[in-house]
Structure 1
């Protein structure tokens, strides 16, 4: 049985990040299954940047755990061969709404509208 077949590709549990006295991320929990796309919309860019830096193994969280493909000790080099990352910074279609942009990305990955929503 392949590693991918044994569970969800991504499990995030009780993820937190503290910088000095500031709590940047607190109690983030989610599971991302095969063929799902994670999109984050926020009015504050800093927590989103830190979340993706942690998910891409560029930053260590203060608390919680991230498990990729049932492997809590996966190395970044191994991870980037298995996932895709698309930064929306300056890459959204300005003539489209956020929802239209997300649906476009979903369709590019073969997801139907009903599944993407």
Structure 2
């Protein structure tokens, strides 16, 4: 079982419903297609900050990474990253990911709960 977060560049949506609609649109445009969209600079910076806290799954020799896929940057496309996390570390990792996103002015959305993260 995993827990996922979506993080993107842009204005913070007014409510969870608007965030859900925007997430679906961004997902279809950037991840749901096979088109290659390199991560934007701020998304790449965001991933680098996450990887300062926990190693990339591809480099995790001590099995401490909360990321359930690797390399993590491979989950980014343009202004969006969809982050799958292992369930056992999801609470801690998602809180840190949401906090880090906010510090960079990014939107953080929990697609399973269908709500914005503070």
More strand by share: 1
| TM-score, length of structure 1 as denominator length | 0.33
Higher RCO, 1 or 2 (CA under 8 Å, sep at least 6)? 2
Taking structure 2 as the reference length, what is the TM-score of the superposition? 0.33
Largest Rg, 1 or 2: 1
More helix by proportion, 1 or 2? 2
